[in-house]
A and B are shown apart, each in its own frame.
Chain A
């Protein structure tokens, strides 16, 4: 059965997602849905203190044998996520704390019982004898001499310091010089599904089987094998349906190691399902950046240079595989954003504190640098008396410069950045908004228009990651494709979907080449036993890398199908072509089902020299250049700010984006909607605060605010499609972009609204409290302010 004539299912078709039928009906299978016979539950004993020496762990006699501590895990290697960047200080994270705890929520012991409630009862009976140490929770204070040390043997708290200086001295005489301190709060990623692990020993295969909600099952296997000291073929990682990842499921968890260790010994399956308190207070932290940034510019807005000191609060440990430093080191390389200017200096610090390790979150460092860069550009505009778009137009990389190597040697592959900005301004109707702004609102609120432009390196490969020197370097991406005896298609890939619609989009890629209907294509993924090796789903790499690999496998399969078909049609292969699921010869044609049936069921009809590889192919893929695709977007936001209560309403929001060739525009729109919701959270709501002893102050969603349906407006998206010259279909990675620009666009809009009041908001989230505080401070007489 081929695709009906006239149907369009290949690259570019806006197909609804296949997987939604089960996911939207509650028929998905997540780790929490897995039930194994005799399975028991695990609860962890976690550190209540941010920094303390462990004097003793008291386990009641009645619970001995059910409670395990670091002493039991002797022989298990600590998690080591080393960076190859010069000067990086190594830290080791034992799966259970050894000697000292360095963050609230750090694992100290685990307890196993028939149910989670009973396991928590056992955990509550374990008494920790801790000697509290001074905790360091402020990243700037942590850099100071004399600060409490997170890892004593380092002598300071700096994981890594980096410096790039590209002729900043030449910019210092610029007529405009503006400096700002800009910060983003520590956040928690909040996928609907938390982490979860079900582990058991499969005696038949002599294999440790670990079901875990992961974006990168093969990388988890690397890490588990290293920590547990067992051979990789003895480990199988299965990642079932995953309810959102965003980076939080792209790390090796100490919990995964503990559950695996236990499953190898206890004789029954074990399960741990993360609860929301564990998730918020002990694990999913991200995003905390501090920038002291100076822009040098001409009076017409032309940038002469950017000088920045950036600090990232990396937390207590280095997360596997991305390390404690990827975030800050990336800041230095991507801060210039989509702009072209001649001088640049950036010093960065990755600082250890007594907080959770910082993890990569959708956008990774890009959200922070976009916030810093776009806010400083608005400050330049205000100083020069120019409209914010004028400063951007002056400095955006122009289309005739493409491909363009920027000041940090990032290779922008293609695009028209100024056009994206111009279209965003037109779509938001900037003139109309500004006229309304001048007229004033009847309800006393203030209107503001904000812009942000970014470009997003995605699917960057070997050459980029070899330079970071972290435990994971992506190479060729592989995919397997197999035609079934009745003409269906099975695809196997080692990366994993955590909600981005791969079952549909990869089937579209296959359809483009083989013509097999999307409905007859099955994707097998998330299982190390069934798929080729892959570093997994991260870095907006799936459509470029996995899509490219599926295309390569299907092309090889098509070639073989043509040869079999040519023989059956009694024609030369060169005289035949493949089109829409049929091999077409000079005097007849055959559907691919017939070719598959022949290969599998009637081999007697094959030519003697038929390729014995048959209708199953594993192929590998890398783009022509592996320095990454550069998707980009201009965001424009209109807000109304209530100056008395600080409430912000988003009145309009426009995204003009260029993701190259869109494999499925509906899926791209979905990625933008979801990312934008998270970006709104970063901009206005989400913040994990800590007290002076390093205690996290939010442990439920009553305290950690996420935007809900009422806070996310209907947005308008316009697509541009400039194909990447380097990828299979011209596609670019777009998975993170929606979350990058909203904090900058919204803060700029709020500042545009409040500038006449003398207020500038430079910290995300821009909460009502912070707005009112700033307005009242600006209103106070100058003398009072000086005194305060």
Chain B
């Protein structure tokens, strides 16, 4: 379990990184926390010619609130979020998700950007950031572009990054007061990759909301308009109107043939809805 030989560089600014990406001819992998890429290298599942370590780019480690939107540099770690070292605009939602990712050693090194680019369907950020309506910011030689997470993650381990492009930041919109949030995942044991994830972000006052079923074969199943899951309307009593049959049908239509899997995913979504209706208290002490 040792990687095949590769060249390693650690650029210190984005321009250098993009220039190197443009000029190298062989296969290239970017590494940040290395929590997925590291094992894949060791198992020789990937054998890149060059590894570009992006943790030397100071901008990618920054986090700031810009006009109500939280901008997380791609190299912000799960632990940075869990520990409250970055600002929060989601009423604790991000911190709760971060705190339950894998194990603490993974959270110490693993990054939000790396998790999204790796796009494991069972990873927490893929589903949670989709539900929160986040966008990714992508830099290339010709400039920057933004994509909603649901358009960025196109499949299992597949994302809409062109050659030469780098995910530099994740933009998380504020979750206004009154917006209900629920996030539940089901694992056989703590720290394991999820077997099912359910996430909802509902605005009963506005009568709208998003729901996501994650840890499925491909990209998460997004209900950008979640009203059909609640009998057509999202009101203050949304929990009582959650319709498991609608969720089950949607999963079947999306190709999930196994009734046991559908049952588990629908159950987990139902519990996310119940959690949103009765928010659990923030378990972590706020950072000073």
**Chain A residues within 8 Å of B, Cβ to Cβ:** 115-117, 120-121, 124, 275-277, 644-647, 684-685, 699-700, 702, 705, 707-708, 710-711, 767-769, 772-773, 776
User: Smallest CB-CB separation from A681: which chain B residue?
Assistant: B189
B39 surroundings in chain A (CB, below 8 A)? 700, 702
User: Given the interface contacts A276-B1, A705-B188, A768-B188, does A644 sit within 8 Å of B193 by beta carbon?
Assistant: no
A232: min CB distance to chain B, Å: 35
Known: A275-B1, A699-B43. 9 other contacts (CB 8 A): A120-B2, A644-B263, A645-B268, A702-B39, A705-B188, A710-B190, A768-B195, A769-B260, A772-B264
B56 at interface by CB-CB < 8 Å:
no
Contact (A685, B188) CB under 8 Å given A124-B44, A776-B259: yes
> Can you pick out 13 interface pairs between chain A and chain B where the beta carbons lie within 8 Å of each other?
A120-B1, A121-B4, A277-B43, A644-B263, A644-B264, A645-B268, A647-B186, A708-B189, A710-B191, A768-B188, A768-B195, A772-B260, A772-B264
Residues of A near B192 (CB, < 8 A) are 702, 705
B5 within 8 A of A: yes
Closest to B268 in A: A645
Q: Is the CB of B77 closer than 8 A to any CB of chain A?
A: no
Distance of A121 Cα from B191 Cα, bound (Å): 33
- The reply to whether B260 and A116 form a contact with Cβ atoms under 8 Å apart is no
Q: Which residues of B contact A124 (CB under 8 A)?
A: 4, 44
The answer to the question of B34 belonging to the interface, with a C-beta cut-off of 8 Å to chain A, is: no
Partner among A644, A711, A767 whose Cβ is within 8 Å of the Cβ of B190: A711
Inter-subunit contact A702/B193 (CB<8 Å): yes
Closest 6 A/B residue pairs (Cβ): A117-B2, A275-B1, A710-B190, A644-B267, A120-B2, A773-B260
Chain A nearest CB, measured from B186 CB (Å): 5
Query: Which residue of chain A has its CB nearest to the CB of B5?
Result: A121
What residues of B have a CB within 8 angstroms of the CB of A699 in the complex?
43
Q: Scan B147-180; emit 1 where CB is below 8 A from any A CB, else 0.
A: 0000000000000000000000000000000000
Which residues of the partner chain B approach A767 to less than 8 Å between Cβ atoms? 188
- Size bracket of the B interface: 20 to 34
- CB-CB under 8 A from A116, the residues of chain B are 2
Chain B residue nearest to A707 in the complex (CB): B189
B91 at the interface (CB under 8 A from A): no
Given known A121-B5, A124-B4, contact A708–B188 (CB-CB < 8 A): no
Interface centre among A644, A699, A773, A776 (most CB of B within 10 A): A644
Q: Does B3 contact A (CB under 8 A)?
A: yes
The total number of A-B Cβ pairs within 8 Å is: 62
Question: Please, which residues of chain A bring their CB within 8 A of the CB of B259?
Answer: 776
B157 → A minimal CB distance (Å): 15
In the complex, chain B residues 178-214 whose Cβ is within 8 Å of any chain A Cβ? 186, 188-193, 195
A276 to B42, CA, bound (A): 11
Q: How far is the CA of A644 from the CA of B267 in the complex (A)?
A: 7
A282 to chain B, nearest CB (A): 13
Taking the closest CB of chain B, its distance from the CB of A779, in whole angstroms, is 10
Q: How far is the CA of A168 from the CA of B50 in the complex (A)?
A: 70
**B254 to nearest A CB, angstroms?**
20
| Chain A nearest CB, measured from B207 CB (Å) | 29
Contact (Cβ within 8 A) B189 A710: yes
A772: nearest residue on chain B (CB-CB)? B260
Contact between A645 and B264 (Cβ–Cβ < 8 Å)? yes
The CA-CA distance from A707 to B192 in the complex, in Å, is: 11
B258 to chain A, nearest CB (A): 9
Q: How far is the CB of A677 from chain B (nearest CB, A)?
A: 12
Interface residues of B in 242-288 (CB under 8 A from A): 259-260, 263-264, 267-268
Contacts of B186 on A, CB cut-off 8 Å? 645, 647, 768
Residue on B with the closest CB to A710?
B190
The distance in angstroms between the C-alpha atoms of A705 and B43, with both chains bound, is 18
* Bound Cα distance from A684 to B192, whole angstroms: 14
Contact residues in B for A121 (Cβ distance below 8 Å): 4-5
A113 to B188 alpha-carbon distance, docked (Å): 41
Name the interface residues of B1-36: CB closer than 8 Å to any CB of A: 1-5
The answer to whether B188 touches A772, judged by C-beta atoms less than 8 angstroms apart, is: no
* Cα-based distance from A121 to B3 in the complex (angstroms): 9
Taking the closest CB of chain B, its distance from the CB of A44, in whole angstroms, is 12
A578–B103 alpha-carbon span in the complex (Å):
56
User: Once the chains bind, are B260 and A776 in contact (CB under 8 Å)?
Assistant: yes
Q: Bound state CA distance, A740 and B90, in angstroms? A: 48
Cβ B264 vs Cβ A117 within 8 A: no
Chain A hits for B193, CB < 8 A: 702
Contacts of A644 in B (CB 8 A): 263-264, 267
The docked-state distance in angstroms from the alpha carbon of A685 to that of B5 is 36
Report B-chain residues with C-beta under 8 Å of the C-beta of A276.
1
Quick one: given A699-B43, A711-B189, are A645 and B267 in contact (CB under 8 Å)? yes
B43, A776: Cβ atoms closer than 8 Å: no
Q: Which residue of B lies closest to A120 (CB)?
A: B2
Q: Report the minimum CB–CB distance from A259 to chain B (whole Å).
A: 18
Q: How far is the CB of A195 from chain B (nearest CB, A)?
A: 14
From B2, B192, B195, B267, name the one whose CB has the most chain A CB atoms within 10 angstroms.
B2
Q: How far is the CB of B95 from chain A (nearest CB, A)?
A: 20
A684 contacts which chain B residues (CB < 8 A)? 188
Task: Give bound CA distance, A523 to B192, whole Å.
Answer: 41
Q: How far is the CA of A205 from the CA of B156 in the complex (A)?
A: 59
| Best-buried of A276, A702, A707 by chain B (most CB within 10 Å) | A702
Chain A's closest residue to B266 (CB) is A644
A275, A646, A685, A700: which contacts B189 (Cβ < 8 A)?
Answer: A685
A377 to B266, CA, bound (A): 37
CB distance from A276 to the nearest CB of B (A): 7
Q: Determine how close the nearest CB of chain A comes to the CB of B250; give it in whole angstroms.
A: 18
The residue from B43, B191, B264, B268 contacting A700, defined by CB atoms under 8 A apart: B43
